[in-house]
Amino acid sequence: MLGWSINLFRIRGIQLAVHFSFILFLAWFAYDGYQDAGVSGALWGAATLLAFFTCVVLHELGHCFTGMRFGLHVRRILLMPIGGMAVFDSIPRKPREELLMTIAGPAVNFAIAGLLCLVAGYPHAGNVLDSPNSLTSFARLLAGWNLLMGIFNLTPAFPMDGGRILRALLATRLPYLRATKWAANIGKVVAGLGIAYGLFTSSYLLAVLFTFILLSGENEYRMLQRQEYAEAHWQAMMEHLARTRAGGPADEPPLLEPGNTEGEPRP
């Protein structure tokens, strides 16, 4: 499903792509605006969505540029109806680096919101749901959405930004895999509550978003678990080979317990 995407252009070597469903989402927004106010409504609807996702791209670029300063390579940024996703070759294992890289995304949203508030005024509670009818209301709408985006991304549901911040803080006291497991388990609880709330309030897109978050968090933990498992196995194999070459006892190569979730080799 994630392969059904269209490449747009590159920003500092980072490929920007859109999922095909995003095109349908944009068309739906334009059609909904057309139903309300004709051609001008369609243009406002499309412009509002594109402006919002421009802020999503800036959010992801905040993560990417900070990660690039730590030597990480960014494959692409993928836009979907439920938001954006930056794809890295790897995630920094140092808690400080992950913390800074993660905070950079919401920080961009808060900076955009602050700038727009200085220009157009602070959005009222209802502005974030109102259709814009002027450039000023449009700016206030974006300010409100950026505030919500920044705050929402700090929700401690791994692998959202808040969940990664939690993982980075836990990793200062716990092994990385165990910190990830704790963050993922807490994220499951938060995501479950988000799904229930979305279904209860008929906010089905929110329920889909939290379902995606729940599955992504578990998948990332399992992937990291397999990686740690393999690294521990090969480290033990190299130690076994070094002992054998040094004339040590010709014991059997190390095996791994099938149920070992921490990736520790079995002697």
Active site residues: 60
CA dihedral 9, 11, 12, 13 (to 10 degrees): -40
Q: Judge whether 164 and 183 are in contact, CB under 8 Å.
A: yes
Q: Judge whether 31 and 42 are in contact, CB under 8 Å.
A: yes
DSSP string, 20-87: HHHHHHHHHHHHHHHHHHHHHHHHHHHHHHHHHHHHHHHHHHHHHHHHHHTT--EEEEEEETTEEEEE
Question: How far apart, in whole angstroms, are the C-alpha atoms of residue 239 and residue 50?
Answer: 55
Q: Judge whether 103 and 61 are in contact, CB under 8 Å.
A: no
Centre a 10 Å sphere on the Cβ of residue 119 and count the other Cβ atoms it contains.
12
Tokens 């609807």, residue located: 45
Nearest to 88 by CA among 49, 56, 117, 61: 61
Question: How far apart, in whole angstroms, are the C-alpha atoms of residue 87 and residue 216?
Answer: 13
